């Protein structure tokens, strides 16, 4: 399934807002040319979170959990983006083999249901769960991104982002045991 068959391509002028922090999210964007600045806050306290360029995705959490936009996306130069909405995303996933669909489903559920590691440490909830072990294996040993790159560049880019999000949720690896309990090295 080609990117063109299920997506919309839009051209933006420099300094054009694509979406604003707090708006409902219904789609993700793949930059095909240009650059997009992702910012958080208001004019008096604006923080640049990232600058996204060619073949990179932004706004992907709309596909993962339907959450409101956590930041504002503004072009920094003339840009073209391919837009993939939830229905198009579901079609793309449905076209994949069963094992790859299962990996995407697991990653999205893990990201939705697991706190980032900083919050886990702060709350004292750093014990590695069965789901953490599966996610760690996916982060460290997956060749899925390479396989997806041959099929669909949007899904490849999204998969790489999901792997990055999952890795930031993993607790530290246990470094040993003390009286039968795992001991973690926390920075």
Domain boundaries, the chain: 3-85, 96-172
Identify the top-confidence range among 12-16, 20-24, 140-144: 12-16
Using the structure block, give the residue that is written with the tokens 């789901």.
Answer: 131
**Contacts of residue 48, Cβ cutoff 8 Å, sequence gap at least 6:** 37, 38, 39
Q: Which CATH class is domain 3-85?
A: mainly beta
Q: Could you give the strand order of the β-sheet that contains 27-33, starting from the edge strand earlier in sequence?
A: 8-12, 79-85, 27-33, 57-58
Query: Mean pLDDT score of the chain, rounded to an integer?
Result: 82
Residue 80, classed as helix, strand or coil, is: strand
Residue pair 82/29 in contact by the 8 Å Cβ criterion:
yes
In whole angstroms, what is the distance from residue 29 CA to residue 17 CA? 13
Other CB atoms within a 10 A radius of the CB of residue 178 amount to 7
Please write the tens of the pLDDT for every residue from 71-86: 999 999 999 999 999 8
User: What confidence score (pLDDT) does residue 181 get?
Assistant: 52
The two structure tokens encoding residue 63: 């596909």
In whole angstroms, what is the distance from residue 110 CA to residue 139 CA? 12
In whole angstroms, what is the distance from residue 33 CA to residue 53 CA? 7
Please write the tens of the pLDDT for every residue from 125-157: 677 788 888 888 888 877 777 777 777 888 888
User: What confidence score (pLDDT) does residue 7 get?
Assistant: 59
The predicted model scores a pTM of 0.73
In whole angstroms, what is the distance from residue 54 CA to residue 137 CA? 29
């Amino acid at each position: 399934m080609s990117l063109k068959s299920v997506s919309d391509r839009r051209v933006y002028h420099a300094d054009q807002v694509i979406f604003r922090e707090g708006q409902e999210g219904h789609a993700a964007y793949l930059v095909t040319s240009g650059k997009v600045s992702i910012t958080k806050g208001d004019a008096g306290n604006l923080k640049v979170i990232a600058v996204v360029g060619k073949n990179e995705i932004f706004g992907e959490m709309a596909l993962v959990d339907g959450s409101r936009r956590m930041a504002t996306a503004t072009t920094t130069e003339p840009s073209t983006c391919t837009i993939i909405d939830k229905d198009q995303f579901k079609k793309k996933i449905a076209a994949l083999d069963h094992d790859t669909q299962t990996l995407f489903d697991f990653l999205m559920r893990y990201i939705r249901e697991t706190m980032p590691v900083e919050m886990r440490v702060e709350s004292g909830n750093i014990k590695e769960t069965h789901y953490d072990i599966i996610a760690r294996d996916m982060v460290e040993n997956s060749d899925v991104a390479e396989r997806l790159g041959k099929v669909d560049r949007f899904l490849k880019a999204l998969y790489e982002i999901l792997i990055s999000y999952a890795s930031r949720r993993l607790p530290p690896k246990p470094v040993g045991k003390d009286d039968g309990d795992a001991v973690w090295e926390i920075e």
